[in-house]
Structure 1
Amino acid sequence: MAAHTKIVVCAYHNVGYRCLEELLGQGAEVVLLFTHEDSPTEEIWFASVRELAEKNGIPYLTSDINEPANVARLREIAPDFIFSFYYRNMIKREVLDLPRLGALNLHGSYLPRYRGRVPVNWAVINGESETGATLHYMVEKPDAGDIVDQEKVTIAFTDTALNVFNKVTAAAARIISRSYPLLVSGEAARIPMDLSAGSYFGGRKPADGLIDWRKSSLAIYNLIRGVTHPYPGAFTYLDGKKVIIWQAWPLEGEGETGRVISTEPLLVGTGEGLLEIRSLQLEGEAETTAAAFVEKKPPTKFE
């Protein structure tokens, strides 16, 4: 039956790659893929959905699925399902209404918590101990349709956003593995989402990584691990120059906010507690250890 179910996939990033790979592994008939051109301003550290499509002979487009010509093409295809796996464009109602059996999205959180953009980064920044992945039907309101399946993943205190994203990606693939046969056979669950029990977060820009030394060392530590490699990083200023802090650790203690109270190790005062800086990078220079940074130019106060 699966071989006769026509599917259109919208996908990007590692989640898109793994979920498309899982569908293909189950013999799904993916008749068209919508993906994105890689941005020249973005670090491309993730797998290419386009390359996976080429390898499997799947036609693909990088234009917006909502464009009139694409909507017309979808009407001709008359897909049974549309799947969205980390596709970055909001899919309009006109498109959502086209597939015979529904349009579904794989979201990188345990919905209804962390609806919206970059949910993994937000979960780490907010100090959560768990998040997850959720497959749900798409409606006009983002991340709000009925839930088909979801799976939790843990966030360790030492995890970076990348560590968590890798866990979420693996969970997403498992969800597709479980859910696809049930969707095709009409036996998949459909659980209404209680939006009142959830939360919504918007997108993040590199400028949002500015460190506020008035916050606690724990909050600053969570920001640093939430936007460290391969993301743009949390940053501060030293003598008017931008400094990215890639790795740090929160400690107890007291000190004036932003003031360096020790150079061995490199400890900085915060609104509550101390922050040990372990790896950092002065703008225009290479990333270095705190010890090497101090040896070159001992800092006194971060702005």
Structure 2
Amino acid sequence: MRVVMFGYQTWGHRTLQALLDSGHEVVLAVTHPQSDHAYEKIWSDSVADLATEHGVPVLLRNRPDDDLLRELKEVDPDLIVCNNWRTWIPPEIIALPRHGILNVHDSLLPKYAGFSPLIWALINGEDEVGVTAHMMDAELDAGDIVVQRALPVGPADTVTDLFHRTVDLIAPIVHESLDLIASGRTDWTPQDRSQANFFHKRSVEDSNIDWTWTAEEIERLVRAQSDPYPNAFTYYKGERVRVLKASVSEGIYGGTPGRVFIKEGDGIVIVAGAEARRGRSRGLVIERVRTEDGTDLPADELFQKMGGYLTRQP
């Protein structure tokens, strides 16, 4: 098959490499220009560089336009394969390839369509994540499923752990999907749209800790914002503090959410949860932090005296 690839960052890079290894003819790679967005500066292996190394023509686009449509008609693809293409693809492009567009998405669709699915899934306490290859239609991440693979989420897993495991699924999923499509199969599995949800792109504010969340939820947020992602953060005495490691307290603590309360184990307990005033909540034990100057230190070196509050604003 003649294949065009649309993609960006490491997800797109891995997909292009899988296509190059597949034995099919890669006739064009379409990717985005480099970005300064915090979440797009990490896992930023270049699709353009990989394509150039293998003699594949490259087009840089922020979004599809008439020139791109003309280029696609000229290369006459049998299939377009997408992974981490960040903007809407119009119907005239979806309808152009003989076999349609195969999109590879790092969630177990129909859940966690949209952006940053691993982060949102970990925050929400899902017990598994995965990768789905589906045929694209007019609704984003809603087309019929070709191949889907799941992985368990462990109690100590960070989003960095989950990234490395799921990105390793891309190549086998792409290869299996191409084999199925090339064989003439079209009997794909429709998504159960009653289970669908769609998440927005994350920004720095989404990492700002809300101390009315339960300690369990905040601990998952910390793991979902592990290095090299922008860390979960809070403010202490007017300075931003990034939380690198945390756990849920053994004790039940009452009071006002955000209160720097008591030492427990290797960390400092912060009162958490909307029900904390009733004395029904566990606290968050902060164990390791990073200050604004980039210094990492144990939490008890920062919180040397009990009292005071962690807040969402300086």
Q: Give the TM-score normalised by structure 2.
A: 0.89
For residues 280-303 of structure 1, what are the alpha-carbon distances to aligned partners after superposition, in whole Å with 9 as ceiling and x for unaligned?
1222342323244346x8773212
Question: Structure 1 CA distance, aligned partners of 2:75 and 2:145?
Answer: 26
Name whichever of 225-234 and 67-76 sits farther off.
Answer: 225-234
Q: Does 1:24 align with 2:23?
A: no
Contact 2:31 2:85 in 1 (8 A): yes
Structure 2 counterpart of 1:152: 150
Match of 1:72 in 2: 70
Partner of 1:284: 293
Compare 94-103 and 168-177 and name the one that shifted more: 168-177
| DSSP-derived class of the 2:4 partner | strand
Instruction: Name which of 212, 221, 224 aligns with 1:223.
Output: 221
d(CA) in 2 for partners of 1:119 and 1:85? 13
Cα gap change, 1:299 to 1:16, in 2 (>3 Å): farther
Match of 1:261 in 2: 261
In the alignment, the residues of structure 1 paired with residue 187 and residue 26 of structure 2 have an alpha-carbon distance, to the nearest angstrom, of 23
Q: Secondary structure at the match of 1:273?
A: strand
> Matched residues in 1 for 2:50 and 2:300: separation?
43
Aligned to 2:212: 214
Between 147-156 and 230-239, the greater mean CA deviation after superposition: 230-239
| Displacement after TM superposition at 1:78 (Å) | 1.4
The 1-side partners of 2:50 and 2:306 are apart by 49
Find the counterpart in structure 1 of residue 45 from structure 2: 47
The match for 1:88 is 86
2:166 alignment partner AA:
V
**Number of the residue aligned with 2:173:** 175
- Matched residue SS, 1:38: coil
- Using the alignment, how far apart are the partners of 1:65 and 1:224 within structure 2? 33
Aligned ranges for residues 196-207 of structure 1 at < 5 Å? 196-207=194-205
Change (3 A) 1:6 1:206: same
**Displacement, 1:13?**
2.1
The answer for the alignment partner of 2:278 in structure 1 is: none
Q: Sort the Cα spacing of 1:118 and 1:93 in 2 relative to 1 into closer, same or farther, 3 A.
A: same
Post-superposition Cα deviations, 1:70-115, rounded to whole Å, max 9, x if no partner, equal 1111111111101101111221112111111111100111111111
Offset at 1:65?
5.1
**Matching residue within 5, 16, 27 for 1:9:** 5
Distance 1:240 1:56, change over 3 A: same
Residue equivalent to 1:301: 309
**Is the alpha carbon distance of 1:112 and 1:35 closer, same or farther for their aligned partners in structure 2, counting shifts above 3 Å?**
same
SS in 1 for 2:10: helix
In 1, Cα distance between the equivalents of 2:26 and 2:128? 33
Q: Say which is worse superposed, 114-123 or 276-285, in terms of deviation.
A: 276-285
Q: Is the 8 A contact 2:261 2:306 kept in 1?
A: no
Matched-pair contact (CA < 8 Å) for 1:134–1:151: yes
Q: CA RMSD in A?
A: 1.8
Can you give the 5+ residue segments of structure 1 that lack an aligned partner in the other structure?
Answer: none
- Aligned-partner Cα distance in 2 for 1:287–1:36: 34
